[in-house]
Amino acid sequence: MVDPSAAPVGSSEAIADTGRRPMWHRVVLKMSGEALASSSAGETVDAAVVGRIAAEIAQAKREFDLELAIVVGGGNIWRGTEGAAAGMDRATSDAMGMLATVINALALQEALERVGQPTRVLSAIHMAEVAEPYIRRRAIRHLEKGRVVIFAAGMGNPYFTTDTSAALRAAEIEADVLLKGTHSGVDGVYSADPKVHEDAVRYDKIAFMDVVAKDLRVMDLTAVTFCKDNSLPVLVFDIMRPNNILRTLAGEDIGTLIT
Ligand code: UDP
């Protein structure tokens, strides 16, 4: 079998021929802001990295019958907790974080549309000049029309993260799954931190209860319990590895499925 990770994005070898159809029809993809940055070039938003992610998403939209919404974080620019730790008012610091997500959302939209994928940014904070307001029914309509929807500004409320925003939006639009793309080189949920414990093992599947009981730091706890309470499966995978978005959407068994 072709190693899909070795094939360039967009090549016919990019997706292993598993013969499987995508498992999900409506999907929310959560990516951290840091997935758009580059440590090597020192860029906060690296156009080449954003372009690679956009190319994969556009290819997945062309090849699979699926509706795709994205929630992007803002951690490459600002995190509310960091400002608060330095003595700032938390709500203001979080507002800065939410605005950071809008910058990332616009970067992603631009990259997606440059490769021909119609995209709408729906913001939880009103900023009519650059993004539509978040309206649930409008988001669903955009998805039905084949547009990629990017949810920006989190939930519009401080004291939350974009993991929780992604979980909430996924539930609201009745997505089949939340895909949580990691950027730290960890390709799923492990029994312990694999960077510290060499003998840590990766789970193919794990229950929400076990993620909570074992205190496995996959997403923030609010997001995990929300997904559990609302029976929303979460697939954790390494978004930085080329073609992994395609492989995940193709239904390949990569990462860890939390149910
Ligand atoms: N944020 C918020 N409310 C939300 C979502 C995000 O206040 O509903 C703020 C919060 O300060 C957070 C920042 O936006 O630190 C950026 O989001 P996040 O840290 O989740 O980004 P990521 O780590 O995914 O890049």
Q: What distance in angstroms lies between residue 5's CA and the mean position of ligand 1's atoms?
A: 30
With a 6 A CB cut-off, is 157 part of the ligand 1 pocket? yes
Pocket probe mutation, ligand 1, options 72, 93, 94, 151, max atoms within 8 Å of Cβ: 94
Check residue 38 and report its DSSP letter.
B
Q: Is the pLDDT of residue 20 over 60?
A: no
Task: Reply yes or no on whether the pLDDT at 36 is more than 90.
Answer: yes
DSSP track, 141-184: HHHHTT-EEEEESTTS-TT--HHHHHHHHHHHTT-SEEEEEE-S
Q: What is the mean predicted confidence (pLDDT) over 175-203?
A: 91
Half-sphere exposure of 22 (CA within 13 A, CB side): 22
Report whether pLDDT(17) > 80.
no
Mean pLDDT value of segment 174-201:
91
Predicted confidence (pLDDT) at residue 244 exceeds the cutoff of 90: yes
pLDDT in tens, 73-127: 999 999 999 999 999 999 999 999 999 999 999 999 999 999 999 999 999 999 9
Residue 22 binned pLDDT confidence (cut-offs 50, 70, 90) = low
Confidence (pLDDT) at 23: 78
Mean of the pLDDT values across residues 209-226? 93
Ligand 1 within 6 A of 83 CB? Answer: no
Of 116, 174, 167, whose CA–CA distance to 140 is shortest? 174
Portion of the chain with pLDDT greater than 70, in percent: 92
195 pLDDT tier (thresholds 50, 70, 90):
confident
Handedness of CA 219, 224, 230, 235 (dihedral sign): positive
pLDDT, one tens digit per residue, over 38-63 is: 877 778 999 999 999 999 999 999 99
CA of 24 to the centre of ligand 1 (A): 26
- Phi then psi for residue 147, to 5 deg, are -85, 145
53 three-state secondary structure:
helix
Report the pLDDT value the prediction gives residue 155, as an integer from 0 to 100: 98
Q: Which of 70, 88, 98 to mutate to test the pocket of ligand 1 (most atoms within 8 A of CB)?
A: 98
pLDDT at 4: 41
Mutate to test the pocket of ligand 1, among 36, 90, 161 (most ligand atoms within 8 A of CB): 161
Mean per-residue pLDDT of the chain? 91
Mean pLDDT confidence for 210-216: 92
Q: Model pTM greater than 0.85? A: yes
Band of the pLDDT at 65, cuts 50, 70, 90?
A: confident
Residue 253: its pLDDT value, please?
86
Kindly report which listed range (2-16, 46-60, 186-200) carries the lowest average pLDDT score. 2-16
Per-residue confidence (pLDDT) for residue 163, from 0 to 100: 97
Nearest to 68 by CA among 128, 145, 164: 145
Q: 226 CB less than 6 Å from ligand 1?
A: no
Question: What's the gap in Å between 201 CA and the centre of ligand 1?
Answer: 29
Ligand 1 atom at minimal distance to the Cα of residue 162? 20
